Amino acid sequence: MLELKPLTPAETPILRRFLDPYPRQACDYAIFNLMTWGKIYNNHYTIWKEHFVIFNQMYANVFFPVGPGLKSEELRELIELFREIDPRAKMVFLPEDWQSSNPDLEEFFDLCEERDWADYIYSAELMVTLTGKKLAKKKNLISQFRRSYPDYHVLPLTKDKHPVLLRFTEKWRFERGAEGSYLDTEMQAIRNSLEMWDEIPAEGIIICHHNKISAYSVFSPLNSDTAAVHFEKFDPDMKGSAQIINWETAKVLQSRFKWINREQDIGLKGLRQAKLSYQPEYLVPFISAELKS
């Protein structure tokens, strides 16, 4: 039987010990997400054969182990051990390149790729320069915002601004009529992130105009060359606010990271259209593996 322990901010040093030499592209491996969403999903972990293994207890998802690498037979053994804990257990976030280099994987697992949970990866430089005809409209909307609100300014998201940020988010939800289980969960994840702000690698910016929030973003490092943008909210009544927060966030990140992971579209048509309109460099596929019966 595997020994599972709760995954809390106290485990951040051991997480770094595994993730730094064995980085992941999927945003779910960001320490920020593992803590803020993990508190909702009741994330636990174990160390098995010198690999860090995360278990989402709500959905019985076993994250692909972080470490030097396991054989297909060992992955089967691992899932069988987790099935003693929860018979629903399956593996998620299989790296695409690992799958291709281990063709015997399909002897033990049925694989499934889910488009709704693929991560969007963008060039940080391109998100700042917005070069090319396909991004011209974004550039124009940013110019319109800057002309309409020439005295807007950008502030770092610090702890003293958390109460007003929560009020702005609630206002955003109310005015957009944004309801649903995912949005309720996202709101809780935002609250969790603010509660853990000093314990996890969390950063953000706020765009202000006349001492009022126009937009904000929350982001964190995913690996040495990629940042993940976790939350982004804006005032829909201020034309160009969605584009200006994207642009200002990219400006902050460009000096430190080559890539920006803007996470998934979760199958929402409007969100997918918006993410595709920024011309992603590539998508990180979401591949899950169910143990063959």
Q: For all residues of the chain together, what is the average pLDDT? A: 94
The percent of residues above 70 in pLDDT, for the chain, comes to: 97
| Averaged pLDDT for residues 181-194 | 87
What is the per-residue pLDDT across 131-172, written as a single tens digit (0 to 9) for each?
999 999 999 999 999 999 999 999 999 999 999 999 999 887
Confidence band, pLDDT 50/70/90 cuts, at residue 181: low
Confidence band, pLDDT 50/70/90 cuts, at residue 234: very high
Confidence band, pLDDT 50/70/90 cuts, at residue 100: confident
Say if residues 104 and 55 touch (Cβ distance below 8 Å).
Answer: no
User: According to the model, what pLDDT value does residue 99 have?
Assistant: 79
User: According to the model, what pLDDT value does residue 293 have?
Assistant: 81
Determine the straight-line distance between the first and last CA of the chain, rounded to whole angstroms: 21
Residue ranges and CATH numbers for the domains of the chain are: 5-117 (3.40.630.30), 120-263 (3.40.630.30)
- C-alpha 254/C-alpha 128 separation (Å) is 8
What is the per-residue pLDDT across 115-128, written as a single tens digit (0 to 9) for each?
999 999 999 999 99
> How would you label 146-171 residue by residue, b for 16+ Cβ within 10 Å and e otherwise?
eeebeebeeeebeeebbeebeebbee
User: According to the model, what pLDDT value does residue 1 have?
Assistant: 80
What is the DSSP secondary structure assignment for residue 118, as one 8-state letter? P
User: According to the model, what pLDDT value does residue 208 have?
Assistant: 96
Does this model's pTM top 0.85? Answer: yes
Whether the pLDDT of residue 179 is over 60: the answer is: no
- Both tokens assigned to 131: 């070069």
Which residues have a Cβ under 8 Å from the Cβ of 13 and sit 6 or more positions away?
none
Sign, CA dihedral 173-174-176-177, equals positive
